[in-house]
Structure 1
Amino acid sequence: MATVAVRPPQREPVRAVHRTPAAGSGRGSLGCRAVDPAFRFLSDDVPDELLALGDRALLRELARPTLVRVPGTGAQPPRAVVTLLHGDESTGPQAMLRVLRHRRRVAAAPLPFDLYVVFGNVEAALHGPGFAHRFLDDQEDFNRVWGLPATTPQRRAAAGILAELRAAGLESVVDVHNNTGDNPFYAIVTRLTPETLNLATLFTTTLLRWDLQAATLMEALHDDCATIAVECGLPGRPESLAFAVDALRRYLGEGPLPTDRVVRDLDLLGELRKVTVRPDVRFRFGGDLAPDTDLVLEADADVHNFVAVDAGHVLGRTRDGAPLPVCARAADGRDVTDEHFAVVEGRLVVTRPSTPVMMTRTVEATRKDCLFYLASALPPPVV
């Protein structure tokens, strides 16, 4: 691309808790415990006939958000893997199901802990060609409703699943995601405790500190246990699935997380500023600036994800003299657009050294969430 010249304390270990279905609780055809019509709870593993189905056929049987408990020996506190909070992120459910099927096929010994697995926005995942929509037009973003009043179907499902996870006494939670643009594999953390950093670096040593208060599942549980999100690149890529399968196997095979020290080196980014395209701006990725377009973003803008760029780095083209087509906000809600962007000779540029992360390459993802985040390198955490 071209460049234009421009002027905490340590937490006590969680006690292991083994929970069994309530006596006399009703069960449906999938053997699920009747808890709340907003979600399913398969409290005694995935039935063989269900696990034998293909991925999409299995999701069709589930039909709605589902929590699964895979019983272990109870020697260690339970763990959880969360998938499909966004319906277009296929790697999480595919990887988790591959791991579960392999364990069933080889008759693997029970895990030393109960494993809870969440399949989130099943309806969005099944819509149309499948794994094509982050969420549907009549839905809320299922990763922006955790801990909010249970006044909508997504919030009721989140509240019910969250109550079960909290009651389980979890040691840790891993929330598996994909990106909509090219990114390296990385993990997101909300706390810099030893157990959280040790959990994250089981997956990758590239970490992003999240402090934006967005009602995510991580934020809802980070006072209860170590929680991370792991970002597995673009969906549908063999390398994304291979990374997720290998990483989940490491997670399930790992002993208790050290709580007194960080055992692996890591790189940490943070101080996120969320960048959106203004609602009245007509935009696309790649091509020429046309009368019906206010902003053309560089088609390969996402290749700079997690790469430090200099002041003057070009993000796209707009009309010279037009207002800034993007908006940047800090974690406290302050508008910091003018501190980071300018239009110079019809080009949208950054005005200071920056590191873009999570840059998307689709209009839908931009409108439903954001264009990207600006991040800064942080010093190694002192824990």
Structure 2
Amino acid sequence: MRRYRKHISIWDNPETQTLGSSAEEFLRKLPGPTVIFVRGKRTQETRAVCTLLHGNEPSGTLAAYHWLKRRQQPACNVALFIASVETALTAPGFHYRQLPGNRDLNRCFIPPFNDREGEIAQEFMAYLDEIQPTSVLDIHNTSGDGPAFAVSIIHDDVHLRLASFFTHRIIHTPLRMGALMELSQHSMPIVTIECGGAREQESHELALNGLTRYLNAEQIDTIHSEETFELFHNPVRVVMQKESSIDYQEYNNHQVDITLSPGIERFNFGIVQPETQLGWLSSGDLNHLQAINSYQENVIDHILKVVDRKIYPARAIKLFMATTNPTIAKSDCLFYVVDADGREIVRGPVSEHDND
């Protein structure tokens, strides 16, 4: 049975034969943003999953499709939200993060809600308020190649446990940009799962295996030890100035302001030492870049340095979510950074900032 709201349709307990013979055919059967509701063994609890907020991130959709085709009854009710259907289907398929001229849907979970993306986000939030899920997972792919990780705005055992269905790496961040995970609270924990690169079969398998574990778990038991986790606290976004230009080459492209190595993704989640060259700055200074931490300090000079127009880390750092997509680099960020010990980069001693 299908029910329709203004922007979101709800498809209750679809039969396997109605899902199509491929994930693409499955998407074509959806009229737009769709919640697929599956009745579980225990009907007094509902868990929610959101995916495809970005149309170029297929792993969550592939996982949802293959899980539904298996026709397994979950431990409790499940609400699967497939968001940017039209964007994902726009040729050449799973290509656009958001359609040209439209807002990033995963930046629309705060006001204003005065366009279609805002109204979709608002309608989904109202639906979550109706069904009162005990937890929510938001499944993505990373903007570049790299290992899987999770992101949470709350650092506690329940959020760690949700992450652990997919990965041992978790980022705790205070950043607020209008993402779905920012709605997280102790009564409805929300964790973002980044499954790895969108083109990697390993990412699709991780999404399906993690989703299956999450939906089959009788209880979301808490984690009592953090020893098995690799934790990253309060990462800093390295962004470029709006008027600046960027390219990815093995040489200094003097036609742009910033040139980064096309191999920068290989540094994701590793420690990068100060002698490692990351790229070039045509101006020979850091004015084209900015990195604001949670204390509203611009710490770009504590992250990067320039020697003979070459960009190096200013200290040993861990970077992640590095991308080689110029559009994403310009509209979102170049990469995220923490200190080599996983802590936030600040000006002066950490103790002065009461950083934990």
Q: Do the two structures share a fold, i.e. TM-score over 0.5?
A: yes
Residue aligned with 1:373, SS: strand
Give how far 1:145 is off: 0.8
CA shift, 1:117, in A, is 0.3
> Which residue number in structure 2 is paired with residue 229 of structure 1?
192
Partners of 1:147 and 1:271 in 2: how far apart? 21
CA, structure 1 residues 229+260, in 2 after alignment: closer, same or farther (shift >3 Å)? Answer: closer
Deviation at 1:148, TM superposition (A): 2.4
Give the structure 2 partner of residue 60 of structure 1.
28
The corresponding residue for 2:5 is: 35
CA distance in 1, matches of 2:31, 2:93: 13
What's the CA shift for 1:320? 5.4
Higher relative contact order (CA 8 A, sep 6+): 1
Q: For residues 52 and 73 of structure 1, what CA distance do their matches in structure 2 show?
A: 25
Given that residues 64 and 121 in structure 1 are in contact (C-alpha distance below 8 angstroms), is that contact kept between their aligned partners in structure 2? yes
SS at 2:290's partner residue?
strand
Per the TM alignment, residue 357 of structure 1 is displaced from its structure 2 partner at its CA by: 0.9
Q: Is the 8 A contact 2:286 2:305 kept in 1?
A: no
Could you tell me which residue of structure 1 aligns to residue 60 of structure 2? Answer: 92
Matching residue of 1:319:
282
Deviations 1:206-243 (A, max 9, x none): 11112201111111233541211111111132111111
List gaps (5 residues or longer) in structure 2: 344-356
More off after superposition, 169-178 vs 222-231:
222-231
Contact 1:183 1:358 (C-alpha < 8 Å) held by counterparts: yes
Asked whether the 8 Å contact 1:190–1:211 carries over to 2, the reply is: yes
Q: Contact 2:247 / 2:253 at 8 angstroms: preserved in 1?
A: no
| SS at structure 1 position matched to 2:259 | strand
Taking the TM superposition and a 5 Å limit, the aligned residue runs for 1:12-31 are 31=1
In the alignment, does 2:113 pair up with 1:143?
A: no
Deviates more, 1:257-266 or 1:271-280: 257-266
User: Do the aligned residues in 2 keep the contact of 1:201 with 1:264 (CA within 8 Å)?
Assistant: no
**CA distance, structure 2, for counterparts of residue 127 and residue 333 of structure 1:** 39
Q: Does 1:271 align with 2:223?
A: no
CA contact (8 A) 2:254 2:282 kept: no
Give the corresponding residue for 2:293. 330
Equivalent positions of 1:67-216 (< 5 A) are 67-75=35-43, 77-103=45-71, 108=72, 110-216=73-179
Q: Name the aligned partner's letter for residue 216 of structure 1.
A: A
C-alpha distance in 2 between matches for 1:190 and 1:55: 31
- Partner of 2:191, secondary structure, is strand
Deviation at 1:50, TM superposition (A): 3.4
Taking the aligned partners of 1:180 and 1:213, their CA distance within structure 2 comes to 19
State the partner residue of 1:21: none
> Residues 76 and 312 from structure 1, CA distance in 2 versus in 1: closer, same or farther, beyond 3 angstroms?
farther
Q: How many percent of aligned residue pairs carry the same amino acid? A: 27
Counterpart secondary structure, 2:170: strand
Whole-Å separation in 1 of the counterparts to 2:199 and 2:18: 23
Contact 1:314 1:347 in 2 (8 A): yes
Deviation at 1:52, TM superposition (A): 2.4
Q: CA deviation at 1:249?
A: 1.2
Secondary structure in 2 matching 1:233: strand
* 1:88–1:131 Cα contact (<8 Å) kept: yes
Structure 2 distance, partners of 1:284, 1:55, is 33
Q: How does 1:329-348 map to 2 (within 5 A)?
A: 329-348=292-311
> Partners of 1:173 and 1:118 in 2: how far apart?
10
CA contact (8 A) 2:59 2:140 kept: yes
The one-letter amino acid of 1:318's match is L
CA distance in 1, matches of 2:136, 2:85: 20
Match of 2:181 among 218, 223, 227: 218
Distance in 2 (alpha carbons) for counterparts of 1:39 and 1:129:
24
The answer to whether the 8 Å contact 1:187/1:231 transfers is: yes
Q: Distance in 1 between matches of 2:321 and 2:135?
A: 24
Mark the CA change 1:150 to 1:281 in structure 2 (over 3 Å): closer, same or farther. Answer: closer
Moved more, 316-325 or 123-132: 316-325
Task: Tell me the equivalent position of 1:371.
Answer: 334
Match of 2:256 among 286, 290, 293: 293
Letter of the structure 2 residue corresponding to residue 41 of structure 1: I
Contact preservation (8 Å) 2:171, 2:234: no
SS of residue matched to 1:348: strand
What is the RMSD computed on CA atoms of the aligned residues? Answer: 2.1
Q: Aligned partner of 1:362: which letter?
A: N
Q: CA, structure 1 residues 368+49, in 2 after alignment: closer, same or farther (shift >3 Å)?
A: farther
TM-score by length of 1: 0.83
Residues 85-128 of structure 1 show CA distances to partners (whole Å, capped at 9, x for unaligned) of 1000011101111011012xxxx4x3231100011111211112
Moved >6 Å (runs of 4+): none
Measured in 1, the distance between the counterparts of 2:159 and 2:135 equals 8
